[in-house]
Each structure stands twice: as C-alpha cells, then as structure tokens.
Structure 1
C-alpha cells in the first residue's frame, strides 16, 4: 500500500519543529567509497517519495556493484508500531526513516548508531545549521537530515479577491504581521457566508507541534535554555495562546479545525470551506491535480520575528546494524547534492543542504512556488528546533494536544492553559 499526498497528510499529522541545537561534531573516518553487502531499509512515503527512494537505491547499487538495498515500504500507520516491535525483538532494519520530532526519543533510548566515526570529517558542513542540529543527541550525530518541509499559506485567489484582498506578500521580509493577518482574516470573515471561513490551521494530531511556531514568532520558548525546565508560562506564551484562541472566538476557523479534530485542515481548503490553509509544500502536487480554482502561496505571519516549523524526516541507522560502514555510505550517497536535489524536486520537499537552499530548487510541479517554501524554511532557528529534540517530546506533544484543545474549544483560560502545559512539561522531563 502506498499513500497519496492527501491521505499521507491525514495519516501522519506530520511534523513540525525539531531537533537539538548541538555543536557540529567533527568526524574522523571517511565514508566507504566502494561498498558491498546488503542493507535493509524501512520507510513509508507518498508515491513520489517512494519513486525517489527507489531511484536513489538503483543509483547507489550501480555505483557500488557489490551492494544491495532491500527496501521495505509500509503504510505510515504501521511504520513505528513495526519499528518499535522490531527494536524490542532485536531484529530491526539497518536503516529507517523517522520524523525529526520523534528522532530524539530513539536516540535518547540508545537505539540508534552514533555516526561520528562513520562519516567524512566535513560531513556536517553540507547542511543548514538547523538541519544538522535536528540529528544531534548530546552533541553527537545519530542520523542524517534527509529533507525538510515547513508550513506556509496556500490561498484561494478568487475568494481573497472577492473580499478585496489583492496585496499578498511576495517575500518573507514583507510577510503579514500578526495584526495585519488579523485584519485580513476579519475582512474575509465579513465578506464570506457563515458556512465559509478565512482559514484553517494544520495542527491536528502530532502536527500540534506546529502551534509552537506562534510561540516562537512571539519570541518565546517552551523549554529553558538548558532544555530541562518549562519556560512557556511567559508573556510570549500568553500572547501566543490568546492570539490562536481568538481564531475560534472570532470564527476565523471552523470549529472542527481544533487540535483533536478528525478533519484535517487541508480538506476544508480543498472543499473551499476556507479561503486559506496553512500547509506544507508536499501538498502541492495533489492540489494541482485536484483543484479547479486558481490558487497561490504566501508566507506565514510574523510577530516579534519570523519563525516556522522544521518538518520532514531524517534517515537513521539502528545501533546494532550488521554493516555500519555500508549504512553510512548509503546515507552519505543520498544526501549528496544531485541525489537530494532529484528527491526533493520530484517529491515537492525541501532540501537540508545549505548549497541547495542558497541556490534554490524547482519543484517538478508548480516550480514558481518553490521560493515561498524555501524562504519560509529559512526562518527556522536552531534555538527553536533544539527544544523539540527532547527524548520526552512524545509526552510533551500529548500535553500540548490536551491543553490547547481545552483552550480552543473547551473554554479553558489562558492562565490555566499555560499553568497546565508548564506542569505537564515538568512531569514529562522530570524537572
């Protein structure tokens, strides 16, 4: 079974901010230049992503005549249940794909291979600082940042123009401020019928970590600089909760756009229930194939600063992989410039290599939208993403889901929400 992009979005609730800010640890051993042996590799993916993986595997095997990569593609819903069971039983795959926001839990449990002695000495230099931080644990790399994705705004041009909104930001520096975004939403609300809404936000499921973007835009944190104690009960935290709860109070979003909703934000935009949707770049091909209205993309709003979620996935090697050198050679290969460019352009995903960010890529579908998502990804700061690398992030996600749901649709006050999130984070981290 493979996933379309649309069902993949619903299945994954995927991803948000991630990673640990750590030193760019050096390496002492070059990657194997002529590899042989067999690797097992487990992943999920859309059709385009799986095609990209198969193409890269074929190229790697041709370049290394003695090497074989056995690809096991599974549905996202089964991916980590299977991985966890295999790790417990002692028979995991050699390599697997993992969202950045769950990377820390595997590295923290000692289930991944420290790659410090397996990759070239300058390996980390190829990536952006935020991307390289995303695969660190206690200052050491336990994976490679294969690609990223981030959230921008897709908008229905007809619905915006009908409300008189024709000036849409074309650079990240000119993105709407929170006040300007509120004005845009209020204008849409006044001009749309009651059963249509200004926008929907993609914070359903594990995508709740995307709410943290608002906190970071307000220049706040949810963990302190030591990454051990809660820091969300602050002026910035209060501002972020107040502003995002106002989306429901002012009927800017449908009531079913809450954190625990079974309806995903993308679906309301597809059906033209909303004029805008916060979305990742990987939704572009489905939108192009299925929508019959004119649409575009623009940047997420900014407050004290711009920020964004660092979505996407890393590739990791399990601790007891039979051939660490072969696994490292494969990871080195798929993160080289030509390989990453081909994968990201074909799957409408964002590169993690600094040279590809600087030079830009062009998606195979709607290439003119590539700069929007690359520019949005450039607002990710490692000081933000470092907080999501905690091995306790899974528990923190549950706290955010429970308390933000109550704040948005359960009538819970901002003060109570911040206090309960703070207590939940402290319990999760043992602070």
Structure 2
C-alpha cells in the first residue's frame, strides 16, 4: 500500500493493545499435506515498516505464534518506510535478507519475477488459498503459484467535511449502489467550485508518487485494462483509457483540484484535506485514526464515483518469505498463522485496515476508531475484481508505474490531449513488458 507521508515518517494512529489470539495452534512441518507434524525450533527475522497500530498488531501476532510453538523465536525489525526497500534490496544483493518481509502488492511482482521470493505452493496447507477473497489471492500469484500471502488490503473512499457539503446543498451516497456516476460527480465538483473561496478546491486525489496506481481505478471504472490477460502486452490503447485520461485531466482544467495535486507533487492529497483547503479527499482507511485526532470539525466517509462499473484500488500489503531463507517450513507456518481469522481480525481492527479473508469480509470487522466507517471501505474493496488486482501483481509493475507517472503528469499539468497521452502510455507499457 502506498501510505501517506504523515504515516510513514511519523508515529501516528491508534495503538492496538496486544491481544490473546485464540484458536491458532502449533505449525505442521508436513508442507502442503497439512499433516500434524511437531513444531520445530528455529528463529525467523521479520522486517517491516508500520504505524504504531500496525507494529502493535504484528507484535501481538508474534507473541501468540511463539506461545503456540515452543522453541520458536521471531525477531521483528521495524524500519522507516523510506528506508525499507533500499535495505531489503541491499540485503538481497548481499545474500543476507530477512526470512520474511512486508511488501506492497504493486511491488510484489518485481521481487517474485526476479526469483527472490520463496514459492509457497508446496509449503502451505491444502486449500490455503480458499480462505482469501479471489482478488486478494490473485495479487500474490506469479506464474500460477503463490509467492506470498495477502495479509491485508486497503482501498480508497472519500472522506468529506460534513459542514462544507451541507453548505453546498450536496447529499452524499449512503451505499455503493447509490455512488455518484462520473457525470454526477462532475456536477458535485462544479457546485463546490462555485460555493468555495478561490483559494479552496472541491477535492484532492491520492495519486502522488507510487500512488499513481490509484489512477487505474478510473480506467477500471471505464471497463478498461492496462495489460492483456497473460500480462505480456499493453492493453491500454482503448476508448476506456482515453475516457479516463480525459476525465481525470479535467480535474485540473476545471480547477476542481489544487494545482499541487498532480502525480509528482510533494504535497499529498491528505495534507490538503487536513489543512481544510479541500472539503473532500480520496483516501485509504488507514487515515481514519489520524483524521479523528487531527481534523477540525465533523467529517464522514462516502463512496467514490462509478462509470461502467464500480472499481477501486487494491491497496495494502503482502507478507513474503525470501527464497534464501534457511527455514522455509517455519516461515510458511508463520505466514499461515498470521492469516488465520483471529490474528487478521485484530490486526485490521486496530490499524483501520481491511481483511483479505473471505469469511472476515462476509462477517465484517469494526475498526477500533470510527467503527461505523468500516462498512464503507469494506463495500468499496468488494468492487475490486481479480483481473484488476492480478494486473497490479505484474513483475513489470515498477517500470509501468514510471510510465504512468511521466505520461499522466504531462497530461495533468501540460496541454497534451487524451489521445496522445494514451499512445504514449501504450508505447511505454509495451516497452516495460517487452
């Protein structure tokens, strides 16, 4: 997941207290057989970044895993996000990586594609993938095999200033089926533009930096793709892509977003909302604890707009084991354990994140902060299709991200039209996967 700078570089969010995680026994050393082998002794090194709440959730899960498996130790190494992958890459190069690390879904494919991750197919219990939603399981596949486990997800909804929307006479959707169409959303933005002072703007979108993958939501809503089904070629040259580029570029041409809301801006969308220069912000659920403690005034959440269909970004992070681990069975056992229902429920509730287990999605979870907003984000996450998340798991995603950043920026802050932008993206993506 591409978190905001506020969460990466500062210690924020509600701190989840360690909990007793029931129903999670010791692990089997029988690989995919799911047999009842005894727990072996061993030590795992686990590297991650995280908010205070996320790290508390990891520590609680580690404590429970160690308690269930006498003689096992898991060392948690927490690092700042801006150092995370520089460190991981250097350790992989030096053949000294941790056994396990955390990785955004949009980065997962590049590690799996280079053979740096453990193929978990023979190390996990039979039917392991059935516990997850199809879109979550698709996000950790490489050439038909799982190279990670989908630990949690996050997705984008709209956080809004209740008073500002009321002042403009705007009613917000109360269910995903009532979400604004693109045309209705454009009308909302225009009405806000008329009602707001000149130094304020209707909304900000969270596509800065690697968050450019969230622009793909508009492409998916228009029923488009950026890669072919086998992920081997570009599929972005389409009417859907031209429509998505034209609509999102209009945000800048119409003055609906701040000029600083472009792809390469150093101002994150959430910063504009916290400064209350926009009444709406497209944001992930992880921002909820920060918003509750920081935003002045009443605020709530609603659903993003839709076009041909509803769609959303598949944010969040997987947990992976490195191919160099000397403890593959123990690493797989830990990944199995943390994706059991109790550990995942406690982690997601405490950190305001979304589960990837189908049973937890079905029964719902309640965030520790603003639990009434859980439904908005869970319903929105349900609009992600497996073919959407599967494209983002491409091993070429890092290069594709660079193409999207360059070409969309040229459209948003320049004079280039949608046709030229889509042609440039098509050429760049074709080169990235060629």
Alignment counterpart, residue 113 of structure 1, candidates 109, 118, 125: 118
2:377 to 373, 378, 401: 373
Pairing partner for 2:129 from 119, 124, 137: 124
Pair 1:384 & 2:388 matched: yes
Q: Cα distance, 1:6 vs. partner?
A: 5.7
Asked if structure 1 preserves the Cα contact closer than 8 Å seen for 2:314 and 2:381, the reply is yes
Aligned to 2:55: 50
Structure 2 CA distance, aligned partners of 1:125 and 1:393?
Answer: 26
Q: 2:188 aligns with which of 175, 181, 184?
A: 184
Determine which of 158, 165, 170 is the counterpart of 2:163: 158
Residues 152 and 298 in structure 1, CA contact (< 8 A), matched pair in contact too? yes
Distance 1:386 1:131 in 2: 9
Q: Is the 8 A contact 1:10 1:264 kept in 2?
A: no
**Corresponding residue SS for 1:321:** coil
1 CA distance for matches of 2:205 and 2:144? 34
Cα deviation for residue 29 of structure 1 reads 2.6
Counterpart in 2 of 1:227?
Answer: 231
* Counterpart contact for 1:5–1:286, Cα < 8 Å: no
Which residue number corresponds to residue 262 of structure 2? 258
Counterpart position of 1:241: 245
Identify which of 331, 342, 364 aligns with 1:360.
364
User: Partner residue of 2:102?
Assistant: 97
**What runs of 5+ residues in structure 2 fail to find an aligned partner?**
11-30
Pairwise CA distance, 1:8: 2.4
Could you report, residue by residue, the CA deviation over 1:321-346 in whole angstroms, capped at 9, with x for unpaired residues?
11111111111110000000000000
What is the alpha-carbon distance in structure 2 between the residues aligned to residue 35 and residue 363 of structure 1? 35
User: Is the contact between residue 246 and residue 417 of structure 2 (CA under 8 Å) also seen in structure 1?
Assistant: no
Give TM-score, length-normalised by structure 2: 0.93
Cα gap change, 1:205/1:5 in structure 2, threshold over 3 Å: closer, same or farther?
Answer: closer
The alignment partner of 1:274 has SS state of coil
Q: TM-score, normalised by structure 1?
A: 0.93
1:295 CA displacement: 0.3
Aligned residues: 411
CA contact (8 A) 2:159 2:300 kept: yes
1:277-315: per-residue Cα shift (whole Å, max 9, x none)? 000000000000111210000011100000000000000
Contact 1:112 1:317 in 2 (8 A): yes
The answer for the alignment partner of 1:278 in structure 2 is 282
Structure 1 SS opposite 2:235: coil
Matches of 2:81 and 2:40, distance apart in 1: 30
- Matched residue, 2:6: 7
User: What is the CA deviation profile of residues 197-241 of structure 1, one whole-angstrom value per residue up to 9, with x for unaligned ones?
Assistant: 100000000000000000000000111223211111111011000
Distance in 1 (CA, whole Å) between partners of 2:82 and 2:116 is 21
Match of 2:84 among 79, 82, 85: 79
Checking the alignment, whether the CA contact within 8 Å between 1:310 and 1:377 is kept in structure 2 is: yes
Query: Aligned match of 1:59 in 57, 61, 64?
Result: 64
Decide which of 315, 320, 324 is 2:319's aligned counterpart.
Answer: 315
For the 8 Å contact 1:282–1:347, the answer to whether it is kept is: yes
Task: Give the C-alpha shift of residue 390 in structure 1.
Answer: 1.5
The 8 Å contact of residues 53 and 343 in structure 1, kept in 2 or not, is answered as yes
Q: Residue 207 of structure 1: SS of its match in structure 2?
A: helix
SS at match of 1:28: helix
1:130 shift after superposition: 0.4
Partner of 1:21: none
- Contact kept in structure 2, 1:5 and 1:282, CA below 8 Å: no
Q: 1:195 to 1:9 in 2, by over 3 A?
A: farther
Aligned partner of 2:139 in structure 1 is 134
- Matched position secondary structure for 1:40: strand
The answer on whether the counterparts of 2:4 and 2:270 sit within 8 Å (CA) in structure 1 is no
Which whole-Å CA distance do the structure 1 matches of 2:251 and 2:132 have between them? 36
Asked if structure 2 preserves the Cα contact closer than 8 Å seen for 1:345 and 1:364, the reply is: yes
Q: Please name the residue that 1:24 is paired with.
A: none
Question: How far, CA to CA, are the matches of 1:283 and 1:53 in structure 2?
Answer: 19
Structure 1 alignment gaps of length 5 or more: 12-26
**Residues 1:33 and 1:160: Cα distance change in structure 2 (over 3 Å):** farther
Structure 1 runs (4+) greater than 3 angstroms displaced = none
